[in-house]
C-alpha cells in the first residue's frame, strides 16, 4: 500500500466564470488527520465533494487510497466514508435501523453486518439509544449517528465536512477524541472546520484555501514558522518602565513597545534562546524583571495573516 492515502493533483473546478477550486494540489499520508480551512466559499466543500465522487473536476484528478475519482469512482466509494455538513435522516426509523440500512447498501451481509453494526454503535456511543427514533435525537447525537453511517463499511479514508458545527463543548471534545482514535487505527481523515483551535490540537497537517487557491500547507508548526515568525512578549519590570521600553526599542528584532503600568508589550522576532538573551540583557542593564510572558501566534493568527477574507 502507498503511504499516500489522499492526493489532489492540480485539481480545478469551474462553475461558469467562478473558479471554485483553482489548481489545488496536496497529499495526506495514511493514518494522518488533515485540516482543511478557509473562509466560507473558499472551495473546501467543492474539493470534498470531488473526493467523495459527488462531483467531477473540470481539470486535474484526485485519488483516494490510490484510486482515481475520475476513472475508478466505484472503487473510491468502497474505501471512503463521507460525512457532509448537512445530511438526511429518516424520522420514522431508529438508530439501529438507520445504520443497518446503510450497512446493507454498502454490501455487508450476515454476521459481518451484525458485528459491524454493533461496533459502530459502541464506538460512536449510540448503543444506549439504538432503538430510539431519530427524530428524538439531539444535534450532538445526530452527528454521532452520521459519523457511524460514514464508518459502517470500515473505510480507509474519512471526509468530514464541518462535523463540529452546532455542537456543545462536551460533544466537540468527544468528537475530537473519536477522530484521533480513528487516525490511530490507521484511517486517513480530511476534516474542515471553522473551530481552528481544535484543528490545531487534532491535526497532523493543515491546508489553508481562499478563493479556490491553496495558500499554505504543512504541519501547524511549519506554517507557524513560515508565516508567523514574530511572537508577542510581555515583560514586567518593577521600576523605570518608560526607560526600559526606550532601550528595548533600540534592539534588533524588537517592535515598537507599548507601556501599561509596569508591563511592556512588544513584538519580538527571535527564538527561545534570543528571548532568554534579551531578558538577560535587561537584567544586566539594571532592570528588575519580575515576569516574562511569551504569546506564540496561534493557528487563528496565522489564518488571519495568510487570508484576506475574500469571497467569490
pTM value?
0.78
The whole-angstrom separation of Cα 95 and Cα 82 is 18
Q: What is the pLDDT of residue 168?
A: 81
Average pLDDT, integer, range 278-302: 85
Grid cell for residue 16: 461558469
Q: What is the pLDDT of residue 111?
A: 94
Task: Name the CATH code of domain 229-296 (choices 2.120.10.30, 3.30.70.100, 3.40.190.150, 3.40.50.620).
Answer: 3.30.70.100
The whole-angstrom separation of Cα 127 and Cα 130 is 5
Integer distance in angstroms from the first to the last C-alpha of the chain? 38
Q: What is the pLDDT of residue 270?
A: 75
Grid cell for residue 167: 455542537
Q: In the 8-state DSSP scheme, what is residue 245?
A: H
CA-wise closest residue to 143 among 173, 119, 113: 173
Report helix, strand or coil for 142.
helix
Question: pLDDT tens digit string along 139-194?
Answer: 888 888 999 999 999 999 999 998 887 788 888 888 889 999 999 999 999 999 88
Grid cell for residue 246: 526606550
Question: pLDDT tens digit string along 240-257?
Answer: 999 999 999 988 888 889
Grid cell for residue 292: 516574562
Helix locations, the chain, DSSP H: 44-51, 73-78, 95-105, 110-123, 139-151, 169-184, 196-202, 220-227, 241-249, 272-284, 299-306
DSSP string, 146-163: HHHHHHTT--SEEEEEST
Average pLDDT, integer, range 270-275: 81
Question: pLDDT tens digit string along 79-120?
Answer: 999 998 877 767 789 999 999 999 999 999 999 999 999 999
Of the listed ranges 14-28, 68-82, 168-182, the one predicted with least confidence = 168-182
Query: Do 235 and 259 touch, CB atoms closer than 8 A?
Result: no
Average pLDDT, the chain: 88
The whole-angstrom separation of Cα 42 and Cα 20 is 7
Query: Do 63 and 69 touch, CB atoms closer than 8 A?
Result: yes
Domain positions in the chain are 4-218, 229-296
Q: Which fold has domain 4-218?
A: Rossmann fold (3.40.50)
Amino acid at each position: 500500500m502507498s503511504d499516500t492515502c489522499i492526493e489532489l493533483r492540480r485539481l480545478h473546478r469551474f462553475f461558469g466564470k467562478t473558479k471554485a477550486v483553482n489548481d489545488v494540489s496536496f497529499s495526506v499520508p495514511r493514518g494522518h488527520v488533515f485540516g482543511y480551512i478557509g473562509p466560507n466559499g473558499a472551495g473546501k466543500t467543492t474539493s470534498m465533494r470531488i473526493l467523495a465522487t459527488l462531483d467531477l473536476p473540470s481539470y486535474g484528478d484526485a485519488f483516494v487510497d490510490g484510486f482515481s475519482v475520475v476513472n475508478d469512482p466505484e472503487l473510491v466509494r468502497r474505501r471512503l466514508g463521507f460525512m457532509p455538513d448537512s445530511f438526511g435522516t429518516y424520522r420514522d426509523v431508529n438508530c439501529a435501523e438507520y445504520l443497518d440500512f446503510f450497512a446493507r447498501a454498502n454490501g455487508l451481509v450476515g454476521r459481518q453486518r451484525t458485528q459491524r453494526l454493533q461496533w459502530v454503535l459502541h464506538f460512536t456511543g449510540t448503543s444506549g439509544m439504538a432503538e430510539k427514533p431519530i427524530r428524538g435525537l439531539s444535534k450532538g447525537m445526530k452527528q454521532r449517528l452520521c459519523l457511524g453511517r460514514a464508518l459502517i463499511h470500515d473505510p480507509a479514508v474519512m471526509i468530514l465536512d464541518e462535523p463540529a458545527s452546532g455542537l456543545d463543548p462536551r460533544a466537540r471534545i468527544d468528537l475530537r477524541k473519536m477522530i484521533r482514535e480513528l487516525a490511530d487505527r490507521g484511517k486517513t481523515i480530511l476534516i474542515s472546520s471553522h473551530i481552528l483551535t481544535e484543528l490545531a490540537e487534532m491535526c497532523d497537517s493543515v491546508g489553508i484555501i481562499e478563493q479556490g487557491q491553496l495558500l499554505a500547507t504543512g504541519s501547524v508548526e511549519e506554517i507557524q514558522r513560515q508565516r508567523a515568525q514574530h511572537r508577542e512578549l510581555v515583560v514586567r519590570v518593577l521600576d523605570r518602565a518608560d526607560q526600559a521600553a526606550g532601550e528595548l526599542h533600540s534592539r534588533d528584532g524588537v517592535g515598537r513597545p507599548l507601556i501599561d503600568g509596569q508591563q511592556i508589550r512588544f513584538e519580538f522576532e527571535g527564538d527561545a534562546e534570543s528571548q532568554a538573551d534579551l531578558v538577560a540583557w535587561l537584567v544586566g542593564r539594571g532592570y528588575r524583571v519580575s515576569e516574562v510572558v511569551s504569546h506564540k501566534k496561534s493557528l487563528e493568527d496565522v489564518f488571519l495573516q495568510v487570508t484576506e477574507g475574500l469571497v467569490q
